[in-house]
Chain A
Amino acid sequence: MEDIKIIEVKRSILEDNDEDADKLREELAAQKTFLLNLMSSPGAGKTTTLLRTIEKLKDELKIGVMEADIDSDVDTRAILGSGVRSIQLHTGGMCHLDADMTRQGLKEIGSEDFDLVILENVGNLVCPAEFDTGAVRNAMILSVPEGDDKPLKYPLMFEIADVVLINKCDTLSVFSDFDTEKVKERIRMRNPKADIYFISAKTGEGIDNWCNWLRKQVAEYKENI
């Protein structure tokens, strides 16, 4: 009779990725490169916000952008038009990037040449929150038309975000049931430490505040490593 063994594993499914993400953060620290992981649902305005951010910061920081999508390169072409280096990562049908896919992207873009690399993750509020990419900071965008109840429905995304940008504020007059106080309260309930900024990537409102946050994070990171 075949010997059947039972092996107690008792590991989190994501433990390997979490360990790999910590390793990637060490590699990034050695290069003095700040990696920002930018997440949101599809259509919340990641690419438009990025374009505004690049416009503000490209004269003071060397910026590179990695666009992760299931397919196509429309976002990469938009970013290239802004004058910074940008590469497209295809996830091969996967709904998120993990630490190893991120590492391959960083190698391809030549991350050691940059002060700031921004990873535009796949548009999705579930999986990117579960898989640590190895980024130094996580930013997420919630756009007004999506509604102020998203922190209740996707708690993990708001728990892991270091900063939440509430985008499309120019549409608040149309989406008048979006409660700006309630959304802050709901985010803080999940994550008391998250910084929250109201912006409109379209009109430029609030972009200075957000860019000041990012500038400060990059400067502190470079000082402390």
Chain B
Amino acid sequence: MHELGLVNYVVKTVSRVAEENDINRIRSVTLEFGEVSGIVTSYLYSYWNWYTKKFPLLEGAQLKCLEIPAVSWCDDCKISYSTVAYGRTCPKCGGGNTWLLQGNEMNIKEIEGGNDDKRRDA
């Protein structure tokens, strides 16, 4: 259910960014999620389709989600490895002195849009 809360924040932020950039019609919004951020993207797409109907700015806007791979670091071996494959256990030494380097991000990467009014004026 936290996907709904996140969609709400995405809409707030992109609405502000659109206003600052003189955009009144958003074509697409690209988000980036870490592999272990716990986001279920299928929920995100359904909430997006439902929630954005309330905002003319976002009518028909496409949601794109990119994944950032999860990478962990072993402090003892000074190596990085795939978090999803090995979890918290270092594949080299078998120890647990490991940290997540990347993979829990939830970012708004970019938005794509234009201004309908300006098109009509032109």
Contact = CB atoms under 8 A, between A and B. Distances in A.
B4 to A, nearest CB: 7
Contacts of A96: 2, 5
Contacts of B113: 4-5, 7
A17 interface: yes
B76 interface: no
B59 interface: no
Contacts of B2: 95-96, 126-127, 130
A: interface residue count bin: 20 to 34
B85 interface: no
A10 interface: yes
Contact of A3 (B1, B5, B109, B119): B119
**Of B12, B13, B104, most A-chain CB atoms within 10 Å:** B13
A16 B12 contact: yes
B38 A11 contact: no
Given A5-B23, A127-B1, A189-B96, A13 B114 contact: no
Contacts of A11: 13, 107-108
B43 interface: no
Contact of A6 (B10, B110, B115): B110
Interface string B36-77: 001000000000000000000000000000000000000000
B118 interface: yes
B73 to A, nearest CB: 15
Of the four ranges (under 10, 10 to 19, 20 to 34, 35 or more), the interface on chain B belongs to 20 to 34
B9 A13 contact: yes
- The B interface, classified by DSSP as helix, strand, loop or mixed, is mixed
A8 interface: yes
B22 to A, nearest CB: 9
A18 to B, nearest CB: 11
A12 interface: yes
Interface in A92-123: 94-96, 98
A15 to B, nearest CB: 8
Given A16-B12, A16-B13, A10 B27 contact: no
B118 A3 contact: yes
A210 to B, nearest CB: 28
Contacts of B118: 3
Contact of A189 (B18, B31, B88): B88
Nearest to B25: A2
Given A2-B116, A7-B23, A95-B2, A16 B110 contact: no
A180 B6 CA distance: 35
A6 B18 CA distance: 10
Given A95-B2, A189-B88, A9 B17 contact: yes
B5 A95 contact: yes
Interface in A1-36: 1-17
11 contacts: A2-B119, A3-B118, A4-B113, A9-B14, A9-B111, A10-B108, A12-B107, A13-B13, A13-B108, A96-B5, A156-B38
